[in-house]
Chain A
Amino acid sequence: DAGITQSPRHKVTETGTPVTLRCHQTENHRYMYWYRQDPGHGLRLIHYSYGVKDTDKGEVSDGYSVSRSKTEDFLLTLESATSSQTSVYFCAITIGGGYEQYFGPGTRLTVT
């Protein structure tokens, strides 16, 4: 258990509304990641962070922004949600300098 929580676990929202998903970790890990999982695509990296206020884009970053103002929290924001952003969102961390990532339980987001 890597001590990762995600909130909310489920959310239904309407097209055009802003949405923020939260990832919280309790062990001061430096690297944090946001992925989305969709059928036929596996997991795709949205954004990642390598420290407080240090973030960068991943493979599918359009329509998403992130913030990391403190080590334990990594926020993913959909500025104006679209139906194509209906997905399951996972947060992950790495421990130390390792390659292995450890995932949170996920947030299922539905945009109607």
Chain B
Amino acid sequence: DQQVKQNSPSLSVQEGRISILNCDYTNSMFDYFLWYKKYPAEGPTFLISISSIKDKNEDGRFTVFLNKSAKHLSLHIVPSQPGDSAVYFCAASARGAGGTSYGKLTFGQGTILTVHP
């Protein structure tokens, strides 16, 4: 059962345009969401996150939107740059009944973003 899904395996955009990466989840216990970026032969790097008490979080060119009723989040990159070309993973965490989930994350399958000059 895939609790976090990224239904678009790949996305191609032109430099300077907006990139929108989407992610859906099914577990209503998830209360924190994160986006990671991964270059080939490197570990994933943390990009931006959002708590379930918010619906938007912005950091420079990156904005994450959360729609709890639809169990959907998206990452917007504006303007897109060739250096943004990478695999993007969304991830989710649930605190659990005791107030801790030991920080476990559930990841989506990833979306390959290609930004063309």
Q: Which residues of A are interface residues toward B (Cβ below 8 A)?
A: 4, 31, 33, 35, 40-45, 48, 50, 56, 58-59, 90, 92, 94, 98-106
Contacts and interface: CB of A to CB of B under 8 A. Distances in A.
Interface string B70-81: 000000000000
A31 B101 CA distance: 11
B32 interface: yes
B43 A106 contact: yes
For chain B, give the interface size range: 20 to 34
Interface string B43-54: 111100100000
Nearest to B51: A99
The CB with the most chain B CB atoms within 10 A, among A35, A59, A99, A102, is that of A99
Contacts of A59: 106
A38 to B, nearest CB: 10
Contacts of A41: 109
Contacts of B21: none
Given A99-B34, A105-B43, A45 B110 contact: no
A84 B72 CA distance: 32
Given A48-B104, A58-B104, A94-B103, A43 B49 contact: no
Contacts of A35: 107
B104 A33 contact: yes
B43 A103 contact: yes
Interface string B17-44: 0000000000000001010000001111
A59 to B, nearest CB: 8
Contact of A42 (B34, B41, B103, B109): B109
Nearest to A41: B109
Contacts of B41: 105-106
Given A31-B102, A33-B104, 20 more contacts: A4-B43, A33-B105, A40-B109, A42-B108, A42-B109, A43-B89, A43-B107, A45-B105, A45-B106, A56-B102, A90-B43, A99-B103, A100-B34, A100-B49, A101-B103, A103-B43, A103-B44, A105-B41, A106-B41, A106-B42
Contact of B44 (A43, A45, A58, A94): A43
